[in-house]
Amino acid sequence: MSKFLEKLRLVFGDQSLRSRIFFVLGILALSRLLAIIPIPGIDTLRLQSLFSSSEFLNLLNIFSGGGLSNLSIVMLGVGPYITASIIMQLLTVMVPRMKEMYQEEGEAGRRRFAQYSRLLAVPLAIVQGFAFIKLLQSQGVLPPLSTNVFVTDIIIIIAGSILLMWLGELITEFGIGNGVSLIIFAGIVSQLPATVSQLLFTYDPSQLPIYLMGLAISLLVIFGVVVITEAERPIPITYAKQMRGGRVHGGVSTYLPLRVNQAGVIPIIFALSILVFPQVILQFLAQSTVSAVSSASTTLLTILANTWFYTSAYFVLVFLFTYFYTAVTFDPDAIATNLQKSGAFIPGVRPGDATSEYIARILTRLTLVGALFLGIIAVLPLILRAVTGIQALSIGGTALLIVVSVVIDLVKKVDAQVSVREY
């Protein structure tokens, strides 16, 4: 307890760090304020009914920071930006120029890459906003709108999404942590009081074992996320001895830490985006007057609505995105080159290509563990819901995974800032 209090004293005793923390809190408060400003003409009862019967809308509500459940001006949340980021990451695999920009051109290249993601988010926001308005009209949540009002609502929704994306960028640049992840985190946490209240008012003593099981699963998920996030595989590294100015330098042994879960929570967010976006479009196309389009969309929606198909697709996407994101963000060739240039080597492994292959082999095995863990944790609530019929579990597991991962990442970054100031 004394160490915790000492850490708090160091955090809030530093003016720069304190300003960053309050800046983040201020931006998150602003995002929550935007999430409760609704667009006009909403049928609240129909909206609640629609959300209670649609799992993918509840998942999408996570990305909107709770704004979608209120049909707020930021109802799309950071979803378009996340989808744009996924597309840009995929392009790094297919287009060598994009890979070069992202991995080899340094900070300037990554900034240009991020700018392209922002620009791509605009047309995606237009498509998603248009599809949502049409979907909500078809469900009776929104009344028929005139052309002027319809266009105005689309512009407001797009502007709200871009504004939220910009607020996330501000947090990343001037605050602490990843801004987009923190906005999603704030949206999940903001729904906790309502969830707890609902559980208290609907408490049934006969369902006490189910509540205890849910609590036990939550604690296991938190424990597992913390363990896997903190776990790492150290690779021993030795620096060669060099003579400089008549003195011997080097000969120091250290290690290169490889995390078991290099990708963090990003694969979960990517997988949810891939699952949610097609369903939004298909829901819209299912209302088409063209019978072939309507029939095909309805068939695909029926397939996606199948719990076991949805669960399997979710697991596979999380698994693949874990490998994909790790491959994009961690380059064994670059690590091997940097080690060779600095006169370092792995004992028993030749420098150059052999070192790169050695690191890649270890990374592949570690990523397998991380990918399986993320996939199992992501689909476990869906499986439990299918077995027990507890509707809340399908959202709770994913939200819990995101919240714990974001908190761990934030604590690490605060500790890093404190350590820098101590030295």
pLDDT tens per residue across span 208-227: 777 777 777 778 878 887 88
How far is CA 36 from each of CA 30, 50, 125, 187, rounded to the nearest angstrom?
Answer: 10, 18, 20, 11
Per-residue confidence band for 331, with pLDDT thresholds at 50, 70 and 90:
confident
Record the pTM: 0.75
Q: Delimit the domains of the chain by residue range.
A: 13-196, 204-423
Residue 355: pLDDT over 60: yes
Q: Give the tens place of pLDDT for each residue, 133-157.
A: 877 777 677 777 777 878 888 888 8
pLDDT exceeds 80 at position 239:
no
Say how many C-beta atoms besides its own lie within 10 A of residue 19's C-beta: 12
Structure confidence at residue 145 (pLDDT): 73
Residue 179: pLDDT over 80: yes
CA distances from 153 to 24, 71, 156, 171 (A): 29, 11, 5, 27
Report the CATH architecture of 13-196: Orthogonal Bundle (1.10)
Which tens digit of pLDDT belongs to each residue from 17-52?
888 888 888 998 888 888 888 776 666 677 767 666
**Which of 161-165, 223-227, 255-259, 276-280 shows the lowest mean pLDDT across its residues?**
276-280
| Token output for 118 | 């922002």
pLDDT at 198: 66
Q: Among residues 89, 168, 138, 73, which one has the least CA distance to residue 301? A: 138
Quick check: 389 pLDDT over 80?
A: no
Query: Cα–Cα distances in Å, from 199 out to 213, 237, 392?
Result: 14, 53, 10
CATH superfamily of 204-423: SecY subunit domain (1.10.3370.10)
Q: Would you say 79 and 187 are in contact if contact means Cβ atoms under 8 Å apart?
A: no
Q: Identify the bridge partners of residue 239 per DSSP, sorted by sequence position.
A: 344
- pLDDT score, position 391: 55
Could you check whether 13-196 and 204-423 share the same CATH topology? yes
Confidence band, pLDDT 50/70/90 cuts, at residue 375:
confident
pLDDT score of 346: 83
User: For 329, what's the count of Cα atoms within 13 Å in the CB-facing half-sphere?
Assistant: 15
Name residue 254's beta-bridge partners: 237
Residue 398's pLDDT is: 67
- The answer to which of 18-22, 100-104, 112-116 has the lowest mean pLDDT is 100-104
